[in-house]
Amino acid sequence: MNTQYKYNKSMIAGKFMAKAFVFIMIALTIYTIYIGIEAAFDGQEIPPEFFGSLIAFFVFGLFSFWFIYLWSNIETNEEGLFVEFVWGKLFVPWDDIITIKRTKQQIFKVWLMQTKNSSLTKFHILYSIQYGFGLKPGIAIHAQLPKYNSLLKEIKKNIK
């Protein structure tokens, strides 16, 4: 039986805005590169601001991407979890889950589920680093996720 754990509409709106920001960053980066290439072909010197803006677009885009998937929707079935990532879902078999731990986050209740390296992406290592749990890929589970207690129980029950 599949069980879905999805964040509420206000969180979805925040994620949508962050996704829109990523698209704006991509568009601005492409435009900035175009201007730099055009200047180079015209024999003009490329100003230092060009490189600064590219770095800023990369950093802010990465931050937005990090925020979007800090609040991933999760679906479970008999075989494992499906974690929302980019425009699809990553499958995490129950056997690949290493641990689930409560973080030291005081404002919100947050748990970090860590997996073997093959289930989640290298990008997910950032979440483990953020909460001080090493270099294994992880996914944050927040108390704001409706029915999060049921999800935590299901994960703990299926950790091997």
**One domain, residues 87 and 130:** yes
- Residue 78, number of CB atoms within 10 A of its CB: 8
**One domain, residues 43 and 89:** no
Token pair belonging to 22: 């990523």
Burial pattern 62-76, b for ≥16 Cβ within 10 A else e, equals: eebbebbbbbbbbbb
- Domain residues for the domain of 121 are 74-158
Sheet order of strands, 3-5 included: 3-5, 74-76, 80-85, 88-93
Q: Left (φ > 0), alpha (ψ -120 to 50) or beta: where does 88 sit?
A: beta
**One domain, residues 32 and 95:** no
Mean pLDDT by 10 residues, the chain (160 residues): 81 80 83 83 80 82 78 91 88 94 85 90 90 92 89 90
Contact 140, 125 (CB under 8 A): no
Query: What pLDDT, on the 0 to 100 scale, is given for residue 91?
Result: 95
**One domain, residues 88 and 124:** yes
Query: What pLDDT, on the 0 to 100 scale, is given for residue 45?
Result: 81
Token pair belonging to 23: 């698209």
- Per residue, the 3-state secondary structure of 65-133, as one string, reads HHHHHHCCCEEECCCEEEEEECCEEEEEEHHHEEEEEECCCCCCCEEEEEECCCCCCHHHHHHHHHCCC
**One domain, residues 93 and 151:** yes
Number of domains within the chain: 2
- What pTM was estimated for this model as a whole? 0.75
Query: What pLDDT, on the 0 to 100 scale, is given for residue 137?
Result: 94
